[in-house]
A and B are shown apart, each in its own frame.
Chain A
Amino acid sequence: MKTDALIAMLARADAPVAPRAVDRRLGATVAAGLTLTLIVVLATLGARADLGAAAQLPMFWWKLVVPLTVGTLSFIAVRRLASPGRRSGAAVAVGALLLGVLWTVAGADVAAAPAAARSAQVLGHSAVPCVALIAMLSLPILAALFAGLRSLAPTRLRAAGGAAGALAGGIAAAAYAVHCNEMTLPFVAVWYVLGMALPAVLGALLAPRWLRWA
């Protein structure tokens, strides 16, 4: 087949393409991921028993703000990386900066606490389930995001996979926060961050093989 014939074939009877395909594809995945993960958390782990009272405290909301910020920044990066020729942009730098702020504030919290209470403040009582559950809850979302990305056209595969992992982690951690009854910022700064970092690393590792498209 000559190249001219191929071009004629591709252009013939080509229907208009709906605009903003990247946003629609990724947006739908994120909305479904957040909704389904929240349902799974509520149905299996359950909301924390004192949800009504906890919602009066700022710490409850900070635990949501951290993952939702990670999720938002990752979404911005993923939607850029889903198109050929774009880099992750400022989202990574902003994320690193905010992580620095989080760790500084959490460090100050720990330093201000009485010596005897410090380790409890960081370790809490649910560090292992927190990390494990956030990572596990993120896996189906990561799989859905990978499927979405494969229908788009990432060319920086590792970056796209890592950003997709962080996005999945952010969604999972936000849903998990409704169940979790830890109430210290240092706990969030260590274990939530680790729980979200695991899918990010996994995404970057799997990307070269699993995000390839033809």
Chain B
Amino acid sequence: MEDVEETLRASLLLALAGDNEAYAAFLTRSGAHLRAYFRRRLVTSPNEVEDLVQETLLALHNRRHTYQTTQRLTPWLYAIARYKLVDLLRAQSPRRQLEVSLDDDEGASELVPADASPGESQRDLLKLLDTLPERHRLPIILVKLEGRSVVEAAAATGMSAAAVKVGIHRGLKKLAAEAGKRR
């Protein structure tokens, strides 16, 4: 059997060093594991699963700098998944938080089988992106969606290159915050 911990860890370490292909592979594999993890825990609300997968991928991205290279990767991943799950359950109904305690062992080696067939997401992150202020939205659209370089995006918007980078970084954090609010 393939070692999920080692595979995911290796691809994240490459990703953090700037390998975008390894990063896409990491997110895809993580997404499949997250999907299986959430499907098993959201039996009564299956249509929330894909939204939560997307939200957690966004959180993995925004918090990727908190992975400390000496720690095991899967506990890190599933701790974020659990954190997002608890958020959702709290929003659904204050009583349901009893079902999942944040202080449970955070999936020390919780290796859920992967589930690579995405469901339909209810919420459209692209629409949410439209609600962000221009200084966040434009850099994300130009660089992250249309694939233009930071320099090109800076020229097109009249922003400085540094502001474009900050706009992407803060914009994705804001997108995550908005996604969390719109339940």
Contact = CB atoms under 8 A, between A and B. Distances in A.
Interface of A: 1-4, 6-22, 82-86, 152-153, 155-157, 213-214
* Residue among A3, A19, A22 having the largest count of chain B Cβ atoms under 10 Å: A3
Interface string B63-89: 111111101100111111011000100
Contact of A16 (B16, B27, B77, B143): B16
B72 A85 contact: yes
A78 B154 CA distance: 38
B71 A6 contact: no
B149 interface: yes
A10 B56 CA distance: 12
Given A11-B27, A13-B20, A16-B17, A3 B121 contact: yes
A83 B124 contact: no
Contacts of B69: 19
Contact of A1 (B23, B54, B150): B54
A139 to B, nearest CB: 25
A7 B31 contact: yes
B165 A10 contact: no
Interface stretch (B1-9, B39-47, B172-180): B172-180
Interface of B: 15-18, 20-21, 23-24, 27-28, 31, 50, 53-54, 57-59, 61, 63-69, 71-72, 75-80, 82-83, 87, 102-103, 106-107, 118, 121, 124-126, 140, 143-145, 147, 149-150, 165, 172-173, 176-177, 179-181
B24 A8 contact: yes
Contact of A84 (B54, B80, B173): B80
Nearest to B81: A84
A156 B102 CA distance: 7
Contact of A155 (B71, B106, B149, B177): B106
B63 A84 contact: yes
A11 B82 contact: no
A84 B121 contact: no
A214 B78 contact: no
B24 A83 contact: no
A11 B78 CA distance: 20
Contacts of B28: 4, 7
B20 A6 contact: no
29 contacts: A1-B54, A1-B126, A3-B53, A10-B27, A11-B15, A11-B21, A11-B27, A12-B145, A13-B143, A13-B149, A14-B20, A17-B64, A17-B65, A22-B66, A83-B68, A83-B76, A84-B75, A84-B77, A84-B106, A85-B76, A85-B78, A85-B106, A85-B107, A86-B68, A86-B76, A152-B65, A155-B79, A214-B87, A214-B180
